[in-house]
Amino acid sequence: MDPLAHRPFVKMNGLGNEILVLDLRENPVEMTPAAARALARRHVLPFDQAMVLYPPKRADTVAFVRILNNDGSQSSACGNGTRCIAAYEAGRTGLSHMVFESAAGLLDCTVHPDGLVSVDMGAPRLDWADIPLSHDVGDTSAVPVPGFEALGPAAMASMGNPHATFFVPDAGKVDVDGLGAALEHHPLFPERANIAFASFPAPDHVLLHVWERGAGRTRACGTAACAAAVNAVRTGRAGRQTRITLPGGDLHIHWREHDRHVLMTGPVEHEFDGILSPGMLDETC
């Protein structure tokens, strides 16, 4: 029997980005890629990312978070998922400020009185080797992608995971599923990439549609929103404070000048609680 059987879970979402929260700080066990795939099946407990909480490694943090996509692959960052676990921890403890550890570094979170949650996502990584790309492309804010030149150059950045932002006339008319699936696995991206298509209804307003690495098309992606805001500033399309509209709703992104950190603010929603059964974790059921 899978060691996750009979463990409690919380189902949440950030702008429709479906998040599974597993708090394993007491009696921690591994969540395997197979377990993630089994749970994410459409008839079981579909999610985009699982945020798995483990005991903290530092005294000044509340938990170490491991992030798994619904295909079982691991991610270093998930902005909407981080806002969800911040709201979860606030509800559990009453804290309004907390710091999580992750593979991408420390995640400083604030839960506001109105229920909105802010996360300091840290500074973007903009060098080709840090994103990473397969080779030196020069200016990472304008990279032609072989085979997809008709889309125009993409702006590349890492927010703990790799992102490519394509600026298009109307993001709502792009074939996100077809182009996203192809571009995610392009040879330019040795660790695959999140693919976003952005257009501008107004100078401080970005319309964004996202194909997430390891999860497919999602209603929202916090790190993609952060990367799009950063890339919009880098290419002279927007200022440092931007409203990002995704299919699930709005995020407010502030790329601070003094420390280059990206602050993301938006709502979260608690859906339901439950207990993992052995059958939910069995891929053959």
**What is the reported pLDDT for 203?**
86
Distances (CA, A) of 85 to 99, 115, 172, 190, 280: 11, 13, 30, 29, 22
**What is the reported pLDDT for 187?**
98
Which two structure tokens, joined as six digits, stand for 43?
A: 């008839």
**What is the reported pLDDT for 13?**
96
**pTM reported for the whole predicted model:** 0.93
φ, ψ at 39 (rounded to 5°): -65, -35
Parallel, antiparallel, or unpaired for β 117-120 and 105-111?
A: antiparallel
In terms of Cβ atoms closer than 10 Å to its own Cβ (0-12, 13-18, 19+), residue 32 is middle
**What is the reported pLDDT for 284?**
79
Q: Give catalytic residue positions.
A: 78, 221
User: Could you read off the pLDDT tens digit of each residue along the chain, which spans 285 residues?
Assistant: 899 999 999 999 999 999 999 999 999 999 999 999 999 999 999 999 999 999 999 999 999 999 999 999 999 899 999 999 999 999 999 999 999 999 989 999 999 999 999 999 999 999 999 999 999 999 999 999 999 999 999 999 999 999 999 999 999 999 999 999 999 999 999 999 999 999 999 989 999 999 999 999 999 999 999 999 999 999 999 999 999 999 999 999 999 999 999 999 999 999 999 999 999 998 877
Element containing residue 237 per DSSP (H, E)? none
Which two structure tokens, joined as six digits, stand for 62?
A: 């509340």
Architecture in CATH for domain 8-122+268-281? Roll (3.10)
User: Radius of gyration (Cα) for the chain, nearest Å?
Assistant: 18
Question: Pick from 76, 73, 98, 68: which is nearest to 85 by CA?
Answer: 98
Q: CA 129, 131, 132, 137: dihedral to nearest 10 degrees?
A: -60
State whether CATH 3.10.310.10 applies to domain 149-260.
Answer: yes
Contact between residue 35 and residue 75 where contact means Cβ atoms under 8 Å apart: no
Could you tell me where in the chain the CATH 3.10.310.10 domains are found? 8-122+268-281, 149-260
